[in-house]
Amino acid sequence: MDKIQFPDFTMAYEDIGRGKAILFIHGYPLNRAMWQPQMDGLSQSLRVIAPDLRGHGDSTSTKGTYSMELLADDCLSLINHLGIDKVYLCGLSMGGYISFVFVNKYPHRLAGLILTSTRANPDTLEGKANRDHTIQNAQINGAAPIIENMIPNLLSPYSLQNRPELVEKLRRIMQSVTLEGIIGDLSGMKERKDSSPLLPLITVPTLIIHGRDDPLIPVSEAQAMKTAIPHSQLVILDRCGHLPNLEASNQFNQAILDFITHTP
């Protein structure tokens, strides 16, 4: 693990392997540890970079809203610090929301885009109210109940039933999230803009990966993105929920390798 000191927080990150650079952006309320199968399986072929966003893992926290713009700029600061010109960006769920901001603001810094378990649409009114409710719950009861409530949202029914070691691993990964991180993310996701108008304008090669049994974001959202993003590809992984990179890591890694091998 390496660390960089930014003006308002310290970012922890992994930077492993050589070759084309791929930056993995984790979802809420996770951290870079969720990308362990990608660090293990892809770093022989690629330069794999995985930060802990502020408020997560070994990075420090800041108070207030973590807007998707703020988090995208943190990712840009990381690649600038590492002297990388163009990266492949792989964002999962909230990481995908951050990736949309990145592709909009910094398209010239992208070699390609991998959108996993994410959606272009903003929160509905009901979704925003749920975020407020979760923030209040976190302020009163701390992170533990939030983490427990998240587990059934993150894995497929198959994984929940048959892979107790994965459930436990996921619980441990989430346990390092801070209260500031939970509140910062939820407030930022609640305010995020609609990225659908951006989709037809995306010109970088794009791969969409989605779990067929994602309990949080239905596969129809991925199909809609595939239709709207020119020349994009869609891979749907069976028996996977919201975390196909953990639930079917070999197939997930292979999809990324195939995609990157066939992009210029």
Q: How far apart are CA 13 and CA 49, in angstroms?
A: 7
Could you give the dihedral angle defined by the CA atoms of residues 167, 217, 131 and 7, in that order, rounded to the nearest 10 degrees?
Answer: 80
Residues 6+ apart with CB under 8 A from 201: none
38 or 43, CB closer to ligand MLT? 38
Residues 196-235 within binding reach of ligand MLT (CB under 6 A): 216
Provide, rounded to whole angstroms, the least separation between the CB of residue 154 and ligand MLT.
Answer: 7
45 residue type, one letter: S
CB-CB neighbours of 36 under 10 Å: 16
Query: What is the distance between the alpha carbons of residues 232 and 237, in angstroms, rounded to a whole number?
Result: 16
Which lies closer to ligand MLT via its Cβ, residue 90 or residue 111? 90
Q: What is the rounded radius of gyration, in angstroms, for the C-alpha atoms of the chain?
A: 17
Query: Which tokens in the block code for residue 85?
Result: 């010109």
Give whichever of 47 and 56 is closer to ligand MLT, judged by the CB atom.
Answer: 56
We find the least distance from the C-beta atom of residue 127 to ligand MLT, in angstroms, to be: 7
> Which residue in the set 23, 94, 103, 143 belongs to the binding site for ligand MLT (CB under 6 A)?
94
Single-letter residue type at 185:
D
Instruction: Sheet containing 110-116: give its strands across.
Output: 2-5, 10-16, 47-51, 21-25, 87-92, 110-116, 206-211, 233-237
Of all residues in the shown chain, the one whose CB is closest to ligand MLT is: 27
Q: Which of residues 27-66 bind ligand MLT (CB under 6 A)?
A: 27-28
Could you give the angle at which helices 125-141 and 179-190 cross, rounded to 10 degrees? 170
Q: Exactly one of 75, 115, 120, 189 binds ligand MLT (CB under 6 A); which one? A: 189
> Is residue 249 a contact residue for ligand MLT (CB under 6 A)?
no
Residue from 93, 159, 232, 245 in contact with ligand MLT (CB under 6 A):
93
CB nearer to ligand MLT: pick between 57 and 205:
57
Question: At its nearest, how many Å lie between ligand MLT and the CB of residue 105?
Answer: 20
# residues contacting ligand MLT (CB under 6 A): 7
The least CB distance from residue 243 to ligand MLT, in Å, is: 8
Residue 118 to residue 200: CA distance in whole angstroms: 17
CB atoms within 10 A of CB 131: 18
Task: Decide whether 47 or 210 has the Cβ nearer to ligand MLT.
Answer: 210
Q: Which is nearer to ligand MLT, 27 or 112 (CB)?
A: 27
Residue 182 vs 199, nearer CB to ligand MLT? 182
**Closest distance to ligand MLT from the beta carbon of 45 (Å):** 26
Interface residue list for ligand MLT (CB under 6 A): 27-28, 93-94, 189, 216, 242
